[in-house]
């Protein structure tokens, strides 16, 4: 699964990686959690022949997909992940798989090695050679009873490869840059046409770095949560409420 991730690149780097126009400024985010706003990219309006303008557009969505048919969100589970196997057939994700596939830029993600049924050692899982990755995402626009609309999203997961399986049996689906256009093309490509992209990352693509339990608390949002453990034992813990800047992204 993928229940926490980070995006610490600058807006310019994220925009260049995704092939987006200029992004509004945003701070480094070291501990992104479900229900918080996340940046995603979708296919935009087709450009005229010969245009050099990007044909993708950014979206800020709530991490936790709500299908359009849900009547009572309080009784509906938080769908921050979607199992790629069968997502095209499952009622919760079928429409998004067909019409609103997305890219989720990330610097890496966090995973916990389970121990006796309890959450154990946390790991910061990052590209071994640095840089950004793009997770396969889905977006659904939910119309609230009052009439307002909210864009919501989920990250697709797949069976973990051998680099990650000793920590957890699932990992996010990573879309390679050469496949961005094909994954985002919902106009001419149906889910079956991109099913081959829903696979584990190549071996040796990621490295898993053990980190302290600071990451367990959503309120801890500083770079110290990514420092290697046990070398890092005296990290300065941020006070609860330190993640207000993340939620304020919805208020801009």
pLDDT digits (tens, 9 = 90+) for 163-180: 999 999 999 999 999 999
**Residue 210 resides in a domain:** yes
Residue 212's CATH number: 3.90.1680.10
- The number of folded domains in the chain is 1
**Residue 245 resides in a domain:** no
Looking at the DSSP bridge assignments, the partners of residue 101 are 138
Dist CA 177 CA 189 (whole Å):
17
Q: Could you tell me the pTM of the whole model?
A: 0.89
What is the phi/psi pair of residue 237, to 5°? -80, 135
What is the phi/psi pair of residue 240, to 5°? -55, 140
**Residue 243 resides in a domain:** no
Asked if pLDDT for residue 45 goes beyond 80, the answer is no
Average pLDDT, the chain: 90
Per-residue exposure over 119-138, b if at least 16 CB sit within 10 Å of its own CB, e if not: eebbbbbbbeeeebbbbbbb
pLDDT digits (tens, 9 = 90+) for 208-231: 999 999 999 999 999 999 999 886
**Residue 232 resides in a domain:** no
* Residue of 105, 88, 47, 102 whose CA lies nearest to 193: 88
Dist CA 183 CA 137 (whole Å):
10
**Residue 250 resides in a domain:** no
**Residue 94 resides in a domain:** yes
Q: What is the pLDDT of residue 124?
A: 98
Dist CA 6 CA 234 (whole Å):
22
Alpha carbons within 13 angstroms on the beta-carbon side of residue 69 total: 6
Q: pLDDT band at residue 49, thresholds of 50, 70 and 90? A: confident
H-assigned helices in the chain: 11-18, 94-99, 180-184, 244-247
% of the chain exceeding 90 in pLDDT: 78
Q: What is the pLDDT of residue 235?
A: 43
Per the structure, the complete domain to which residue 19 belongs is given by: 4-46+53-226
What is the DSSP-derived secondary structure letter of residue 222? S
**Residue 234 resides in a domain:** no
Q: Residues 18-38: what's their mean pLDDT?
A: 96
**Residue 59 resides in a domain:** yes
Asked if pLDDT for residue 241 goes beyond 50, the answer is no
């Amino acid at each position: 699964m993928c229940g926490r991730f980070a995006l610490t690149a600058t807006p310019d780097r994220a925009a260049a990686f995704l092939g987006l126009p200029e992004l509004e400024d945003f701070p480094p985010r070291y501990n992104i959690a479900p229900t918080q706003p996340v940046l995603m990219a979708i296919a935009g309006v087709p450009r005229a022949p010969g245009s050099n303008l990007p044909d993708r557009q950014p979206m800020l969505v709530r991490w936790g997909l709500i299908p359009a048919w849900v009547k009572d969100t309080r009784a509906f589970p938080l769908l921050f992940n979607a199992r790629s196997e069968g997502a095209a057939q499952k009622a919760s994700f079928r429409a998004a798989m067909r019409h609103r596939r997305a890219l989720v830029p990330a610097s890496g993600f966090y995973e916990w090695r389970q121990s006796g049924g309890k959450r154990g050692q946390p790991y910061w899982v990052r590209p071994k050679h640095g840089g950004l990755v793009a997770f396969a995402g889905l977006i659904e626009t939910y119309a609230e009873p009052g009439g307002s609309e909210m864009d919501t999203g989920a990250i697709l997961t797949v069976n973990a490869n051998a680099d990650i399986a000793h920590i957890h049996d699932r990992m996010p689906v990573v879309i390679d840059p050469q496949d961005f256009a094909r994954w985002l093309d919902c106009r001419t490509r149906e889910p079956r046409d991109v099913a081959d992209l829903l696979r584990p990352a190549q071996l040796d693509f990621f490295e898993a770095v053990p980190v302290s339990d600071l990451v367990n608390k959503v309120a801890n949002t500083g770079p110290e949560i990514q420092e290697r453990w046990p070398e890092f034992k005296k990290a300065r813990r941020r006070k609860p409420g330190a993640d207000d800047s993340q939620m304020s992204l919805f208020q801009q």
